[in-house]
Amino acid sequence: MNASRLSTVNIVALTIGFAFLYVPILILIVFSFNESRLVTVWAGFSTKWYAALLENRQIMDAAWITLRVAIVSATVATIIGTLAGLTLARFVRFRGRTLFTGMIYAPLVMPEVITGLALLLLFVALDWDRGYWTVTLAHATFSMAYVAVIVQSRLVGFDRSLEEAAMDLGATPLRTFFAVTLTLIAPALIAGWLLAFTLSLDDLVIASFASGPGATTLPMRIYSQVRLGVTPEINAISTILIAIVACGAVAATLVQKRSLVLRRRAEAAARADV
């Protein structure tokens, strides 16, 4: 009886929690197809506000900048994060490991305001003009930590006998790394890239500190326009942004699951050969 009551309470609590989180998002998506310009009054189904986005030069420019920043920063974060994850997984003992680990994990727990302010002070000290490249570097800085965690977790259970077999057959360590190691951890790299891309795509706080004239990202543009009032175009572009982020998160999850399945199959095949 108690277990049944507890289960019912849990279901009700989860329902309320998910409703609080996702009902506003659903309302935003529904009203993005509203015929009326008044965002709180339903006047019929229409997709005209999505077409109107193509004529909104400010939003389209911000969207293009955001997309470029996300692609470049995710790529840089994946490269650096992979090297960091490889170092943490392969080099168990070296001088300064504790400090290195703390520096890698710091962006995961550091408030975004602190990270953004620190990067702003760095760019000012270096006398760099804030713009596209400073936003890209800022996004790569905090997102590479997530890539490092994913790659490290994949390498912890990595079967190094495959690398040893490749080198026994005459492959150099560098060729073994690119032909064997990277191939086997490719799903983790893809998942890390997708996660970094998603984090960059919807970042507002850090981009606000690192951006400058001509480098306004889409979240910044949406935030500035919402302060003056929500318009149907904002609902439409927000719906598109939600769809892209959701697709990226789902794709990263599927890639990680596929990586786990492939690893289990490889382990089963190795055991069968033995």
Is the residue at 45 inside a domain? no
Amino acid at 101: T
Is the residue at 18 inside a domain? no
Is the residue at 109 inside a domain? yes
- Tokens matching residue 77: 């974060």
DSSP H helices, the chain, are: 2-31, 48-53, 57-90, 97-109, 112-125, 132-156, 161-168, 173-176, 182-184, 186-201, 205-210, 218-226, 232-273
The pTM score is 0.78
* 3 state SS of 175: helix
Report the pLDDT averaged over residues 179-195: 85
Per the CB < 8 A criterion, the answer to whether 69 and 217 are in contact is yes
How far, in Å, CA of 107 to CA of 142, rounded?
5
Per the CB < 8 A criterion, the answer to whether 221 and 43 are in contact is no
Is the residue at 222 inside a domain? yes
Show the domain range for 112. 56-273
Tokens 């500190």 correspond to: 209
Is the residue at 27 inside a domain? no
Report the pLDDT averaged over residues 159-177: 80
User: In the predicted model, is pLDDT for residue 267 greater than 70?
Assistant: no
Whichever domain contains 170, its CATH number is 1.10.3720.10
Domain count, the chain: 1
Residue 197 CB contacts under 8 Å (≥ 6 apart), including other chains: 70, 71, 74, 248
Is the residue at 20 inside a domain? no
**Pick from 64, 42, 207, 62: which is nearest to 139 by CA?**
207
Is the residue at 255 inside a domain? yes
Is the residue at 47 inside a domain? no
pLDDT in tens, 104-142: 888 888 888 999 999 999 999 998 888 899 999 999 998
